[in-house]
Amino acid sequence: MGEEIKTALANLDENLVLDLVRRKIQAGEDPEAILADLKTGIEIIGQKFEAQELYLIDLIYSGDIFRGAFELIKPVLRKDRDSTGLGKFVLGTVKGDVHDIGKNIVADLLTGAGFEVIDLGVDIAPEIFVARVRETGSRFVGLSGLLTVAYDAMKETIRALEKADLREKVKVMIGGSMVNDEVKAYVGADAGCRDAVQGVKIVKQWAKG
């Protein structure tokens, strides 16, 4: 049924996607696996858009379908009952980028894991990150970005934290569909993740260690 979800999303068949997700949840399937299938499906949309087989309106619609499916998954996502009070986490999509579906998933998973998430939203300028980190005393910062241009915005944000003498006080995690070790090194982050579940695992280790 995983293959079916991917195909249904890639075909922008909203009713089928939601129906399959509901059936999978009822069958007790792993919500993280369902999420992974949806992610593969929406990546196909991205590729089709890049190949000019789809229009921007399709991209927008794919986002709506994904969000609807995630709403169904959210209640069954694993919650760690043993970990609460892991601290504050300042999260946002960097300047120039408005993609937020992945960021919102990260926010939900972090909250479920026991963090107090301060979600700044999208298209967030470096100085806003700096101000909110200072204000909240957060030890963790998450920068989301899907566009190639987001890497410069991430780098600028980390530089702004340095200039404000806050860099030593925080751990910075970057995330987004094209993040890799090279990007992590370029922007100067402590860690980078393409996958929300993995990212949250790392941050939990930071908080506990």
Cβ at position 178, least distance to ligand B12 in Å: 6
In the three-class reduction of DSSP (H, G, I as helix; E, B as strand; rest coil), residue 8 is classed as: helix
Residue 1 or 46 having the CB closest to ligand B12 = 46
DSSP letters, 76-121, are GS---SS----EEEEEEEBTT----HHHHHHHHHHHHHTEEEEE--
Distance CA 39, CA 111 (A): 21
Chain contacts with ligand B12 (rule: CB under 6 A): 39, 42-43, 45-47, 49-50, 56, 59-60, 62-63, 66, 96-103, 105-106, 142, 144, 146-148, 173, 175-177, 193-196, 199
Residue 119 or 130 having the CB closest to ligand B12 = 119
Cβ at position 16, least distance to ligand B12 in Å: 18
Beta strands in the chain (DSSP E): 87-93, 115-119, 140-144, 171-175, 191-193
Cβ at position 115, least distance to ligand B12 in Å: 11
Cβ at position 90, least distance to ligand B12 in Å: 10
Residue 65 or 130 having the CB closest to ligand B12 = 65
Residue nearest ligand B12 by beta-carbon distance: 102
Distance CA 58, CA 48 (A): 10
